[in-house]
Amino acid sequence: MGDAAGSFVIKQFGVKPFEGQKMGTSGLRKKVKVFQQPGYIEAFVQSIFDALPEIPGSGMDGRAQSAPVLVLGGDGRYFNREAIRTITRLVAANGVGKLLIGQNGILCTPAVSAIIRARRLSGGIILTASHNPGGPNADFGIKYNTGDGGPAPESYTDVFYAKSQRVSGYRSACTESDADPFASVNLSRRGSYTFVDRTAATERRFVIEVIDSADDYVALFRSIFDFERLRALLRRPDFSMLFDSLHGVTGAYTRRIFCEELGAPPSALRNATPLEDFGGGHPDPNLVYAAELVALCDPKQNPKAPEFGAASDGDGDRNMIIGRGFFVTPNDSLAVIAAYAERAIPYFAGGKLVGVARSMPTASSVDRVAAKHGLACYETPTGWKFFSSLLSSGRAQICGEESFGTSSDHVREKDGIWAVLCWLSVLAYRNVDKTPVGSLVGVQQVVEEHWREYGRNFFTRYDYEECDADAAHAMMQHLEEYQRRGDMSLLERGYGDKVSVADNFCYTDPVDGSVARNQGIRFVFADGSRIVFRLSGTGSMGATIRMYIEKYESDPSRVDQDAATALRGLVQLALEVSKLPSFTGRDRPNVIT
Ligand code: G6P
Ligand code: ZN
């Protein structure tokens, strides 16, 4: 690992503010072409560095003893490497002492969180647009995570945005002739490089370390799961698995984790080479975009269908779990993980699990587990950020959302591979040293037994994308008024049960007292069944209406019904109450999950 030392000077360049450099908690997401405008990235990243010294606790507010250390990496999508080169020069010029970069510029989102936490860094920059497609005509994104490993909250992103509106120049590390002083850094090999900043009166050093993308993340998993038992499961001749990375970033991790550490054969991995355009696909693990995996796991279509199938998204924070011809809803996945955590996952053993949390539209399967196991249960607005305070204050350890996100307090992001390892742990717990070869308890049996024990929360989500924004808002307004009027006779007659809650969901964070209003209209029946409407916060064209329908069934003899059949009546009722078809002119959703 030869040190390739060099030097640089910091130069100032003029730049004009760009419109709309407003980061949500999932970062600044735009078309690649937008990011490719000269000065665009520089203006935005400089705004971050202009903001951080003004944010108490940012690690760059001048209170730290030593120069801050940051980590940088991305999901490998188109423009990843160019962005890394540009950002590295700004990082060097803005007082950072050391920058860790994932090998080949690759780091999955939960691994960045793990690295920040394990190494107590000041923060990190993640280059990703999550599950959005990649390529020259698709999306790119920049996200900033703070010292706790989680996405920068609004108290940060508001200042970033304010700075971006006034930015007039940026600082960049240069050679005398304005070239990249770090051109000698080989991102494809691990190594450490020390550079001397010759601008400074006192000799300042800036270190770039190209780190293994997986080491910290794998070490964390070793401390959470019982790898020996997982290996024993994977050794069984009656067990096989298929992990589809959809050409996203987890391809850089799955060989190491599932093959080298746990002994899965290479054939267990699909689409495991991260590609800049995700192979032209949509790297989102669900029944629509991971249809190939779903077909391969269906014994009717593939006689060699594996017992366990999983997929993850572009940056590795979302997950989908399936069995042989059997889809596990994210709601049920969360509930099953919570139900088995203490017994099947060493990290949660000995009473460490005291609470769980789900977003409001997520079906309440996990609530039943919490009630039975004596766990606290929190219902938060949609958006992973709402789990942060619960996780950090120790109120909840396991969280999940219907949008294919599941994770725990081991990081401050959703974690796709973690969810898969949880499921393997559940299967190992049920089978290793317990079932003879040939009578493996599989995914479907685990879930069906769970339904019989806790009841089943049938669930479906209808997405109406690119609706006229005015029409969508008018429909929400209509529901708001309906809910306020309080006459629930139409719903009660239609469903045959009392409505126990009708409101516009409002959340008060139990830790910091902050209030989030208008988080979705919900009608909850006395038996726990629900109709929920909200507008998506992530759509980019017009408005996306999401309609969530949940029906609780406690009768064990009725839990195996087909979900669409079980939900049909409530779906019709929801359409009737909302008048969605007449408001929007849409007679069917774009996607049903
Ligand atoms: C992102 C967030 C999730 C959220 C999802 C759906 O993935 O990280 O927390 O559940 O978007 O949001 P939407 O507003 O489109 O329903
Ligand atoms: Zn993602």
How far is ligand 2, taken at its centre, from the CA of residue 112, in Å? 13
Q: Identify the three-state secondary structure at position 211.
A: strand
How far is ligand 1, taken at its centre, from the CA of residue 461, in Å? 13
Given this model, what pLDDT does residue 434 score? 96
Ligand 1 atom closest to 382 (CA): 10
Q: Identify the three-state secondary structure at position 495.
A: helix
d(CA 506, CA 509): 10
Ligand 1 pocket mutation pick from 382, 387, 412 by most atoms within 8 angstroms of CB: 382
- How many helices (DSSP H) and strands (DSSP E) are in the chain? 18, 26
- The DSSP code for 258 is I
Domains of the chain: 6-213 (3.40.120.10), 217-454 (3.40.120.10), 456-592 (3.30.310.50)
Given this model, what pLDDT does residue 541 score? 75
- Give me the catalytic one of 26, 130, 213, 245: 130
Q: Identify the three-state secondary structure at position 7.
A: strand
Quick count: other Cβ atoms within 10 Å of Cβ 235? Answer: 12
The model carries a pTM of 0.95
Given this model, what pLDDT does residue 357 score? 98
d(CA 71, CA 54): 20
Give the residue from 119, 145, 123, 111 showing the smallest Cα distance to 407. 111
d(CA 175, CA 177): 5
How far is ligand 2, taken at its centre, from the CA of residue 174, in Å? 34
Instruction: Write the single-letter amino acid at 234.
Output: L
26 lines ligand 1 (CB under 6 A): yes
d(CA 384, CA 110): 13
CB 7 within 8 A of CB 197: yes
Given this model, what pLDDT does residue 540 score? 66
Q: ipTM value of the model? A: 0.96
Q: pLDDT digit of tens for each residue in the chain (593 aa)?
A: 345 479 999 999 999 999 999 987 689 999 999 999 999 999 999 999 999 999 998 988 877 778 999 999 999 999 999 999 999 999 999 999 999 999 999 999 999 999 999 999 999 999 999 999 999 999 999 999 999 999 998 899 999 999 999 999 999 999 999 999 999 999 999 999 999 999 977 789 999 999 999 999 999 999 999 999 999 999 999 999 999 999 999 999 999 999 999 999 999 999 999 999 999 999 999 999 999 999 999 999 999 999 999 999 999 999 999 999 999 999 999 999 999 999 999 999 999 999 999 999 999 999 999 999 999 999 999 999 899 999 999 999 999 999 999 999 999 999 999 999 999 999 999 999 999 999 999 999 999 999 999 999 999 999 999 999 999 999 999 999 999 998 998 999 999 999 999 999 999 999 999 999 999 999 999 999 999 999 998 766 789 999 999 999 999 999 999 999 999 999 999 999 999 999 999 999 988 88
How far is ligand 2, taken at its centre, from the CA of residue 322, in Å? 19
Distances (CA, A) of 250 to 53, 160, 213, 245, 485: 34, 29, 10, 6, 49
Ligand 1 atom closest to 383 (CA): 9
Radius of gyration of the chain (CA): 25
Element (H, E) at 269: strand 269-270
Ligand 1 atom closest to 26 (CA): 8
Element (H, E) at 323: strand 319-323
Given this model, what pLDDT does residue 538 score? 77
Per DSSP, what are the bridge partners of residue 14?
A: 169
d(CA 541, CA 494): 34
Backbone angles phi, psi at 308, to 5 degrees: -140, 130
Given this model, what pLDDT does residue 315 score? 98
Tokens 């940060």 sit on residue: 156
CB 552 within 8 A of CB 455: yes
pLDDT tens-digit readout, 469-493:
999 999 999 999 999 998 998 999 9
The verdict on whether 130 is a catalytic residue reads: yes
Ligand 1 pocket mutation pick from 126, 538, 590 by most atoms within 8 angstroms of CB: 538
Give the residue from 108, 101, 42 showing the smallest Cα distance to 71. 101
384 lines ligand 1 (CB under 6 A): yes
Q: Identify the three-state secondary structure at position 81.
A: helix
Atom 2 (ligand 1): residue with closest C-alpha? 383
- The DSSP code for 238 is T
403 lines ligand 1 (CB under 6 A): yes
